[in-house]
């Protein structure tokens, strides 16, 4: 309303833009509660999917960091062995269970010495 009191072309143009924006926003807003709920549910779904993708990306980034032998810790998890060798984690567990890859447990966690993994890889390449 102050734009009217200024009575200039610029003020009237600004006033008309504000009115147009107001009605455009009002028209695009959900007109029913059901539409609003559907939009809110969609937003939640998108946020959840984004969070899952962020977690997956973070996990993949940590796996990518361990690609060279010198960056591996001395004691490895089956996942680290799998990432390094390019086989599945389940296959690593199977190799450990059948004695092909020496391992040990700490509590319920299976561990593999880096030296044991490297020896196992040397045996494979010698076959």
- Which range marks the domain in which residue 39 is found? 2-65
Name the strand (E) or helix (H) holding 103.
none
Chain centre to alpha carbon of residue 79: 18
Residue 3 pLDDT: 46
State whether 25 and 49 are in the same domain: yes
* CATH number of the CATH domain containing 90: 1.10.1660.10
Q: Number of folded domains in the chain?
A: 2
Whether the model clears a pTM of 0.75, i.e. scores above it, the answer is no
Task: Give residue-wise pLDDT tens across range 7-20.
Answer: 667 677 777 777 77
d(CA 127, CA 122): 9
State whether 56 and 80 are in the same domain: no
DSSP type of residue 69: G
State whether 33 and 87 are in the same domain: no
State whether 8 and 60 are in the same domain: yes
3-state secondary structure of 14: helix
Is 89:104 a contact under the CB 8 Å cutoff?
Answer: no
Residue 77's nearest CA partner among 64, 62, 67, 92 is 92
């Amino acid at each position: 309303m102050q734009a009217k009191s200024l009575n200039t072309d610029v003020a009237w143009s600004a006033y008309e833009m504000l009115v147009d924006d107001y009605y455009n926003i009002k028209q695009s807003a959900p007109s029913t509660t059901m539409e609003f709920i559907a939009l809110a549910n969609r937003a939640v779904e998108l946020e959840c999917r984004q969070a899952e993708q962020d977690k997956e990306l973070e996990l993949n980034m940590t796996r990518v960091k361990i690609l060279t032998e010198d960056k591996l810790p001395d004691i490895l998890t089956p996942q680290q062995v799998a990432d390094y060798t390019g086989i599945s984690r389940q296959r690593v567990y199977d190799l450990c269970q059948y004695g092909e890859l020496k391992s040990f447990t700490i509590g319920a966690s299976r561990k593999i010495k880096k030296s044991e993994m490297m020896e196992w890889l040397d045996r494979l390449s010698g076959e």
